[in-house]
Amino acid sequence: MTPPSDLASSAVPAVAGATRTAPTSAADASLVALLRSDGKPRQAAIGQLYARYARDFKGYFRRHGARDAQVEDLLQETFIKVLRSIDSWQGSGTLEAWLWTIARNTLYSALRSERGDEAVSLDDDGGDDESGATLAARIAGSDSNPADTDCVRRGLTAFTQKFAEYAHVLERVVIDDWGYDELAQYRGCAPGAAREYLSQCRKRLWQFVGHCFEPTA
């Protein structure tokens, strides 16, 4: 597959809620400016974006239930949405965080459309119920397993749908063992601010899944 280059005939709409504040780094601002330009500079920027993120996006799609036949379509749709929305992007956090939010939303929209009412959640990794429950507990920052794993799956699904970037950050911290330094780099902030942001993510998630856990003595 080659990166999308001409969106004139695409029917994919811009991503809702894509308007942000000022770019957080010179590198982000430079890449965004090139993506908003025309001709060869824009094509080069698209190639740079594709080279940087395509492999990670495809791996992410596969880990979360996309079939091999779907992966390329999901990747194409993600980049099309990025390019169609780039004129309205003004930066909040980092460009990478915004891109991952679009990729995540694209995947979840596809899986929800395919599965209907079947739950699609962060722990949908192909493991058994016990491993899924353990992962859910780690994501939520709890020391105990939930009393109702289906309750957690439903909560994670609702949380992911409403707070896609928070969900992605928690997943990277838990599954990829991100520390505060990696999160700070991702967010474009100081490690102390990253610590506070992670705490906010977990508090927000707990509003969706906290009732699924046994009360502690």
Q: Where are the domains positioned within the chain?
A: 18-118, 120-217
Helix axes 180-187, 191-209, angle to 10 degrees: 90
pLDDT tens digit sequence for 139-155:
666 666 666 777 877 88
Q: Count Cβ atoms within 10 A of the Cβ of residue 126 and give its class: 0-12 exposed, 13-18 middle, 19 or more buried.
A: exposed
At 15 the pLDDT is: 37
Range 163-185 average pLDDT:
81
Range 38-42 average pLDDT:
91
Amino acid letter, residue 70:
Q
| Confidence band for 216, pLDDT divided at 50, 70 and 90 | low
Exposed e or buried b for every residue in 89-121, given b needs 16+ CB within 10 A?
Answer: bebbbbbbbbbbbbbbbbbbebbeeeeeeebbb
Summary mean pLDDT of the chain = 75
Helices and strands, counts by H and E, the chain: 9, 0
Any idea what the Cα angle at residue 25 is, between residues 168 and 183, rounded to 5°?
30
At 13 the pLDDT is: 36
In CATH, what class is 18-118? mainly alpha
pLDDT tens digit sequence for 63-106:
778 888 899 999 999 999 999 988 877 666 578 878 888 888 89
Q: Is the pLDDT of residue 203 over 80?
A: yes
